[in-house]
């Protein structure tokens, strides 16, 4: 099932609003190092890739990939990576980093909600890190369906959820208890654990989730 929201239809604007098609995020990149940019891959992803139960590499989508730190990490671990962000500055930085490192990464400047049907059922994994928290909560059900539609049968959504409880956003928080009800239409929750090695500014506010796409009916 596909849900294609019309993000620009309600007239609201600003980062994370349904009407945000990218310019405000682009502006934040142009203003200097954005405050969300860790300058390194998410520690929880490093742990996932180096755990004894190391994941089998496959084709992976990194939505809202920013300057590409997580995308590069995945490419280094043998994954075939597509990094998507609608901020041109972010995609340019990813391309530059990948070239400098001699890594092959498909870099696409696009609104993630416009990836289907072109990229439907193409990915073994989606690796989510601070994209979900960047979009307006009104779009969360559409995000769930989008991610399921992009995954192959048996594909997995690997997500670092920002589980802070401050009002407003972005970043918009999500309580750990809300994960199952939100995703259960299309995913089976395999695990959800507090992240133990978050960067200091996110300590105690991240959960690492692994979700299996349910068979399509």
Ligand X SMILES: C[S@@+](CC[C@H](N)C(=O)[O-])C[C@H]1O[C@@H](n2cnc3c(N)ncnc32)[C@H](O)[C@@H]1O
In our burial notation (b when 16+ CB lie closer than 10 A, e otherwise), range 63-76 reads bbbbbbbbbbbbbe
Token pair of 32 as six digits: 């200097």
Q: Does 82 bind ligand X (CB under 6 A)?
A: no
Sheet strands (E) in the chain = 59-63, 80-85, 105-109, 123-129, 151-162, 187-194, 206-213
What 3 state SS string does 3-15 have? CCCCCCCCCCCCC
Stretch that binds ligand X, among 107-115, 144-152, 183-191, 205-213 (CB under 6 A): 107-115
Query: Closer CB to ligand X, residue 203 or residue 216?
Result: 203
- 18 binds ligand X, rule: CB under 6 A: no
Residue 113 or residue 123: which is nearer to ligand X going by CB?
113
User: Which span (129-137, 146-154, 187-195, 204-212) binds ligand X, by CB under 6 A?
Assistant: 129-137
Give the chain's radius of gyration (CA, Å): 16
- Residue choice 3, 12, 103, 111 for contact with ligand X (CB under 6 A): 111
Site track 87-106 with ligand X (rule: CB under 6 A), x = hit: x--x----------------
What is the number of H-type helices and E-type strands within the chain? 6, 7
Binding of residue 119 to ligand X (CB under 6 A): no
Would you state the structure tokens that stand for residue 151, as one six-digit string? Answer: 């995954």
Query: Per DSSP, which regions of 74-140 are E strands?
Result: 80-85, 105-109, 123-129
Site membership for ligand X, residue 150 (CB under 6 A): no
- Determine, following the binding rule CB under 6 A, whether residue 198 of this chain makes contact with ligand X: no
Q: Distance between CA atoms of 169 and 187, rounded to whole angstroms?
A: 25
- The residue with tokens 């962000």 is 85
Q: Is the Cβ of residue 159 or residue 211 nearer to ligand X in the bound state?
A: 159
Instruction: Find the binder of ligand X among 5, 17, 18, 25 (CB under 6 A).
Output: 25
Q: Is 66 in the site for ligand X (CB under 6 A)?
A: yes
Closer by beta carbon to ligand X, 13 or else 216: 13
Residues listed for the chain: 217
Contact residues for ligand X, defined by CB under 6 A:
25, 36-37, 64-66, 84-87, 90, 111-113, 129-131, 134-135
């Amino acid at each position: 099932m596909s849900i294609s929201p019309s993000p620009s239809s309600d007239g609201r604007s600003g980062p994370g609003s349904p009407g945000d098609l990218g310019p405000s995020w682009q502006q934040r990149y142009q203003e200097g190092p954005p405050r969300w940019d860790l300058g390194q891959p998410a520690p929880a992803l490093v742990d996932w890739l180096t755990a004894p139960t190391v994941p089998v590499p496959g084709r992976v989508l990194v939505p809202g990939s920013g300057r590409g730190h997580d995308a590069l990490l995945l490419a280094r671990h043998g994954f075939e990576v597509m990094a998507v962000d609608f901020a041109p500055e972010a995609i340019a930085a990813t391309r530059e980093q990948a070239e400098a490192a001699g890594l092959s990464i498909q870099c696409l400047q696009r609104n993630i909600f416009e990836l289907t049907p072109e990229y439907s059922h193409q990915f073994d994994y989606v690796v989510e890190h601070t994209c979900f928290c960047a979009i307006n909560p009104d779009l969360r059900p559409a995000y769930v369906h989008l991610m399921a539609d992009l995954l192959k049968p048996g594909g997995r959504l690997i997500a670092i959820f920002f589980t802070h409880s401050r009002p407003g956003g972005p970043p918009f928080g999500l309580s750990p208890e809300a994960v199952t009800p939100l995703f259960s239409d299309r995913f089976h929750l395999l695990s959800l654990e507090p992240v133990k090695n978050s960067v200091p500014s996110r300590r105690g506010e991240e959960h690492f989730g692994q979700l299996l796409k349910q068979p399509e009916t």
